[in-house]
Chains A and B, each alone.
Chain A
Amino acid sequence: VKLRSLRTRLLIGTTAITAGALIVLGLTIDVAVRHILLEEFDAAMLAKAKSLASMVEQHQKGITFEFSTDLMPEFSSPRDPEYFEIWVNGRTLACSTSLARADLAAAPSNDGMHCGWTVLPDGRNGRMISLNFKPYIDPDERSESEGAQVPCMIIVARDTLALDHTRSRLRWAAVILSAAAVSLSGIALLLLVHLSTRPIRGLTAQIAATNEQDLGARLDPRDLPSELIPVVDRLNDLLARLAAVIERERSFTADAAHELRTPLAGLRATPGVCRSRPRDVGGYEAVLDKSLEQLAALQSLVESLLMLARADAGQVVVSRENVDLSALLDECWEVFEPRAAKRQLSVQKQWPEVCHVTADRQFLLVVINNLLDNAVSHADAGGELRIETSERDHQVLLEISNSDSRLLARDIEHIFERFWRGDASRSQTGLHAGLGLGLCRKLLMLMGGTISAEKRDGIFSLLVMLRYSEASARHNQASQMLRSTSA
């Protein structure tokens, strides 16, 4: 199960960690407590064993043990008795009355002290301590029996009921305290998370209040925790980019409306005025000619707009075919030659017989027509026009330059913008709507080419980079090899 809520994740994670830590701590404490309790228990038993051992005396006549149950009633208590047994030379010297006839089954060890678990005669679990000792010899009698101290052993045993009881109570206390701690930490965590996520809720409200109408709105990073500031910054960047796109769309729509409506108005007004009174045949013909001319301009505008819109929407199919750029240039130039002659342009053309590039033929045709139209229309009257191809960075460079005294260098960055209008000469509504170069750039982009512009010494140049087709690339390689071998 994927935990989507940070709050749940934090809650579960922290609770698990706290509980785990408390369990480890509890177990450690339990072991430590048990150890300490056993130590104390054993120490108490040892003390008793030592007291009992001090009551064993060695005399010449034998070993005596003087014991009174009054002194240590626990050894004869009917309930919860303690036990002892004293061994001398493998025989029982004495034992507590609580032991009755039973033995404290202990493997007598020969030296020092031994502690351990045992089963008491009444079947309960208990602790047992065995202590090897030398009986007391009266100093008066010591010389006689020197070196003949009889080794004795005392075993004391006691049940661990009280001990177990204490341990169990301690355990319960630990469990209850731990559970309380876990619950409290959970509640505290919930509160903390609630408080810490307040900025997120605030941000959510801010985002919810942002709409597409108010493009200037940005999210306010004040009062936000530092972890959220990068998120807000990136969101604001995104908003700014979206606003720019939407603004561009809006102005595109407005511009497109203007560019379409103005020729339409002309197209409506021309016959409208004509119809307002009877005219001679020549008058009607002139109006028909004017209308047809305007229709043609409008059609090319609509087609450019459609092509742009389709290209923007990714609805065009771009074919990558082998196109002869030279043939295409010949074909297109034929159409523009009369206009260039009319404007008295001095034209320089330079392209090879054949130049194969990879492109979409229809698109490349549109691009070249637009570029030639642009150059022939905007070149200074009587100025220069140069069309040439060359090779640059293993690509074909098509350069179309014309003298243009009106376009300013700072305008260069705008010329690919749709509907951009420079000076009066470039802004003839309906005829040059400022779509051509934008369309060229879009189409070239789709074909894997590029277009750039520069203005130098009064000459405006458009530089188009196209890819060689594979066939001509091979041809080039071959001719290069040929050249190098001949060199």
Chain B
Amino acid sequence: MRVLVVEDFPPLRDAVIQGLQEAGYAVDAADNGEDALRYARTGGHDVIVLDLMLPKLDGLSVLKSLRASQCPAHVLVLTAKDTPADRVRGLDLGADDYLVKPFVFAEFLARVRALVRRKYESKSAMLHVADLEIDPVKRQVHRAGQLIDLSGREYALLEYLAHNANRIVSRTDIWQHLYDFNATVESNVVDVFVGLLRKKIERPGLPRLLHTRRGQGYMLAEIGEDA
């Protein structure tokens, strides 16, 4: 999952970036409204964490532009403004959630997770694909009741595929959602991680879940045949 953090106060921005990265998100950051809009338009963000008082272009204007350009990302407004009028204005302009500073970091992470779930239209906190069980809170994966140990990247890939279960996901989609702007582009890095993930989740005697659709991408599904 990829998150864009827009915040102009460096210590807070740094902490949020670190926390999100450690939680397995790919994170981009901007410290002003204009950059925020530019980054967001490159696409691929699942969640945008947006401060309202920003230099150059204020947060509400950013929000308006994002919604006008049909940006699919869910927006979590992060602000010190806490009057009901401010909240109403933010939500009416298309914010999906509102968190008033200062906040408990665990709550912030929970809200980001909830927004990701909403984006992929899943209500339950747990993700299920066949006998695969993914817990985004604990970041734990079980297959047929057995714990599978995954690296951060592997987990992020699996969660993204699980959110898009039974749908073909292209390599570009995976790249965009899992890697931030700082990561170096390597053509086969997605294939490498898919290979590593496949080794860990597929078990002999159990149905195959991670399928390759040649020329299209990958799909996490219970039934299906490799082309």
Contact = CB atoms under 8 A, between A and B. Distances in A.
5 contacts: A262-B101, A266-B15, A269-B102, A276-B106, A290-B11
A430 B105 contact: no
B19 A421 contact: no
Given A258-B81, A272-B105, A272-B106, A263 B15 contact: no
A254 B79 CA distance: 11
- Quick one: which of A264, A265, A266, A276 has the most chain B CB within 10 A? A265
Contacts of A421: 55
A160 interface: no
Nearest to B23: A276
B9 A273 contact: no
Contacts of B14: 270, 290
A268 B9 contact: no
A268 B22 contact: no
Contacts of B215: none
B100 interface: yes
Contacts of B16: 269, 273
Contacts of B12: 262-263, 265-266, 269-270
Query: What 8 A-B pairs are tightest by C-beta distance, nearest first?
Result: A272-B105, A266-B12, A261-B80, A265-B101, A273-B19, A269-B15, A266-B11, A265-B102
Interface string B67-107: 00000000000111111000000000000000011111110
Contact of A424 (B55, B79, B101): B55
A110 interface: no
- Quick one: which of A272, A277, A428 has the most chain B CB within 10 A? A272
A253 to B, nearest CB: 10
Given A269-B16, A269-B19, A273-B22, A254 B81 contact: yes
A150 interface: no
Contacts of A424: 8, 31-32, 55-56
Interface in B1-60: 8-12, 14-16, 18-19, 22-23, 31-32, 51, 53, 55-56
Given A262-B101, A430-B9, 13 more contacts: A254-B81, A262-B80, A265-B9, A266-B9, A266-B12, A268-B102, A268-B103, A270-B15, A273-B15, A428-B9, A428-B10, A429-B8, A429-B53
Interface string B137-173: 0000000000000000000000000000000000000
B101 to A, nearest CB: 4
Contacts of B108: 269
Contacts of A276: 19, 22-23, 105-106
B19 A430 contact: no
Contacts of A290: 11, 14
A257 interface: yes
Contacts of A272: 15, 19, 104-106
B11 A430 contact: yes
A267 B19 CA distance: 14
Contacts of B9: 262-263, 265-266, 428-430
B10 A273 contact: no
A423 B11 CA distance: 20
Interface in A257-314: 257-270, 272-273, 276-277, 290, 293-294
Contacts of B82: 257
A261 B53 CA distance: 12
A168 interface: no
Given A277-B22, A424-B55, A427-B55, A261 B15 contact: no
Contacts of A423: 55-56
Interface residues of A, number: 29
A258 B53 contact: yes
Interface string A423-463: 11001111000000000000000000000000000000000
Contact of B81 (A257, A263, A273, A427): A257
A268 B104 contact: yes
Interface in A386-432: 421, 423-424, 427-430
A238 B79 CA distance: 35
Nearest to B101: A265
Contacts of A294: 11
Given A273-B19, A273-B22, A261 B102 contact: yes
Nearest to A293: B11
A267 B79 CA distance: 15
A423 B53 CA distance: 13
A259 to B, nearest CB: 8
Contacts of A270: 11-12, 14-15
Interface string A50-81: 00000000000000000000000000000000
A121 B106 CA distance: 130
A276 B109 CA distance: 11
Nearest to A272: B105
Given A272-B15, A272-B106, A273-B105, A428 B81 contact: no
